[in-house]
Amino acid sequence: MAMLTIRNLDAAIKERLRVRAAQHGRSMEAEVRGILQTVLQPPERFSERNLYERIRARFAPIGGIDLELPPREPTRDPPRFD
């Protein structure tokens, strides 16, 4: 595991970090690790989901979408070239 030292951190930022760590019930060091893991995790790969699933996931937090599609009409016979 690597170590990281942060110098010249603003006192207000340190205080906010201390409060946030206390709210989550962990040390400031554990809180910083959690923040870095969240922010720096690899982006979600959208290619694993199809377009429908991606659109549905995008609108789910605001209540989703409900599109009523009209019934399909019977298809025509293809043209004949006799």
Q: Is residue 74 part of a domain?
A: no
> Could you give the angle at which helices 11-23 and 28-40 cross, rounded to 10 degrees?
90
The total number of structural domains that make up the chain: 1
Q: What whole-number percentage of the chain has pLDDT above 90?
A: 48
**Average pLDDT estimate for 2-20:** 94
22 lies in some domain: yes
User: Is residue 58 domain-resident?
Assistant: no
> Is 35 a member of any domain?
yes
CA gap 39, 61 in Å, rounded: 21
37 within some domain: yes
Domain contains 23: yes
- Does residue 59 form part of some domain? no
Domain membership of residue 77 (yes or no) is no
Across the range 28-38, mean pLDDT stands at 95
Helices (H) and strands (E) in the chain, counts: 3, 0
pTM comes to 0.52
Structural domain for 26, as ranges: 10-44
